[in-house]
Amino acid sequence: MQFTIVFLLLISASLNVYSQNAKDFTNEIFLKRLNKDSLYLNLKKKIVSEFAPEKPGQWGEFVKGVVRNINTRNKIIAFTFDACGGKNGNGYDKELIDFLQNEKVPATVFVSGKWIDANFKAFLDLSKDTLFEIDNHGLNHKPCSTDGKSAYGIKGTSDIGEAFDEMEANALKIEAITKYKPHYYRSATAFIDETCVTMAAKTGITVVSYGVLSGDGVAFASDSVIEDNVIRKIKPGAIVIMHLNHPEWYTCEAMRKIVPELRQMGYTFVRLDDFEKSNLIK
């Protein structure tokens, strides 16, 4: 473990670009660069050979080792917003972000490499606002699988090497742009296999699923339906899943109802990182 982490620190240093020019960081260019980086390639080789004998294990949103909730009895919850990208939506719900900023609601944002490519300026703005914590939603928004399983019609990564790139390359891409390497990862669709979760842990990544499904992505979900889904299931420590990449959905309208309602119920809002140090993430 220690050895792997040292390796990763060296890779970060070798990618020491920290430019903020969108074209230096497209998935295609960034992966090309990693594929010429001997440290990255050596680590990938080491992980692939270590996990090659493993069976994928269970496939799902809540397999062993993923985080569903914050472990607390206090009335705190974490809103998380996915930015999926590519065919799964390259939009940016600016109205939602404006609302969170105006209301000073901290939130965790899971971004894919594809979404960053389509929204570089918005991504930079989000990353500079301390209200938001940026985390990893995969390089190409593929569900993380070691044998090519699919979820909701989205084909997952086909083997251990591609799964490693999906998680690690996007974490390094986010770090190269923002100087901050996210250590939380949510697989595209939240489906993942057990081997991917163990692999993630090996490189210092914690896999996050969710405790409360807002259902903002369900066809024709109105703001009242989303509001009801959240309020009905809310409990201390809940991690709520929503999206920021579909301004045409009713996420923002629902949040306008949910936030004051939860405040009235005595809840406050946190980012996932706020809990890491106190070991409350389980």
Nearer to Zn ion, 84 or 107 (CB): 84
* Residue reference for tokens 């105006």: 102
CA distance 199 to 282: 18
Piece of 147-155, 184-192, 218-226, 256-264 that binds Zn ion (CB under 5 A): 184-192
Could you tell me the smallest distance in angstroms from the CB atom of residue 51 to Zn ion? Answer: 24
Residue 61, interface with Zn ion (CB under 5 A)?
A: no
Nearer to Zn ion, 82 or 227 (CB): 82
Could you tell me the smallest distance in angstroms from the CB atom of residue 154 to Zn ion? Answer: 9
Burial of residue 76 (CB within 10 Å: 0-12, 13-18, 19+) is: middle
Q: What's the gap between Cα 185 and its chain centre? A: 4
CA distance 272 to 282: 11
CA distance 222 to 210: 21
Could you tell me the smallest distance in angstroms from the CB atom of residue 267 to Zn ion? Answer: 25
Nearer to Zn ion, 77 or 151 (CB): 151
State the DSSP H helix or E strand holding residue 124, giving kind and residue range, or none if neither.
Answer: helix 120-128
Burial of residue 79 (CB within 10 Å: 0-12, 13-18, 19+) is: buried
**Stretch 82-101 residues interacting with Zn ion (CB under 5 A):** 82, 84
Nearer to Zn ion, 33 or 186 (CB): 186
Residue 234, interface with Zn ion (CB under 5 A)?
A: no
Nearer to Zn ion, 15 or 111 (CB): 111
**Stretch 12-31 residues interacting with Zn ion (CB under 5 A):** none
Nearer to Zn ion, 7 or 62 (CB): 62
Instruction: Tell me the per-residue interface mask from 186 to 205 with Zn ion, x by CB under 5 A, - otherwise.
Output: --x-----------------
Strands (DSSP E) contained in 75-167 are: 76-83, 107-111, 132-136, 150-151, 154-155
* Residue reference for tokens 């946190």: 270
Could you tell me the smallest distance in angstroms from the CB atom of residue 89 to Zn ion? Answer: 8
Using Cβ positions, the residue closest to Zn ion within the complex turns out to be 84
Distances (CA, A) of 29 to 34, 47, 166: 9, 23, 15
Could you tell me the smallest distance in angstroms from the CB atom of residue 112 to Zn ion? Answer: 7
Could you tell me the smallest distance in angstroms from the CB atom of residue 85 to Zn ion? Answer: 8
Residues that bind Zn ion (CB under 5 A): 82, 84, 188
